[in-house]
């Protein structure tokens, strides 16, 4: 089971995500933010977006929005955006 083990904010709306299998990828939340839902609207603010954290292996924000680590990993893998973390 893939879990998120690290999250580092980059330029808005990008996050560097580290996974339990040792892979790392840069994920853009642009598409998610563009949905403009009640939960995603707050992510337009770069300061709020940077408050991303890990809870139970998932990516989350203080407003209760959580994203599946498996879905994030799969999306990055399918896009060729995962790499092995440096030792």
Q: 23: Cβ–Cβ under 8 A, 6 or more apart, which residues?
A: 73, 76, 77, 82, 83, 84, 85
**Residue 32: predicted pLDDT:** 96
> Hey, which residues does 31 pair with through a beta bridge?
none
- Global model pTM greater than 0.85: yes
44-75 confidence digits (pLDDT tens): 999 999 999 999 999 999 999 999 999 999 99
pLDDT exceeds 80 at position 86? no
With respect to CATH, is domain 4-82 assigned 3.40.50.300? no
Residue among 87, 32, 34 at smallest CA distance from 65: 32
């Amino acid at each position: 089971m893939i879990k998120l083990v690290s999250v580092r904010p980059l330029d808005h709306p990008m996050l560097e995500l580290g996974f339990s299998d040792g892979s790392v990828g840069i994920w853009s939340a642009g598409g998610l933010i563009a949905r403009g839902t009640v939960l995603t609207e707050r992510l337009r603010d770069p300061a709020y977006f940077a408050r991303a954290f890990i809870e139970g292996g998932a990516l989350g924000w203080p407003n209760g929005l959580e994203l599946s680590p498996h879905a994030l990993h799969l999306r990055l893998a399918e896009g060729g955006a995962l790499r092995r973390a440096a030792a």
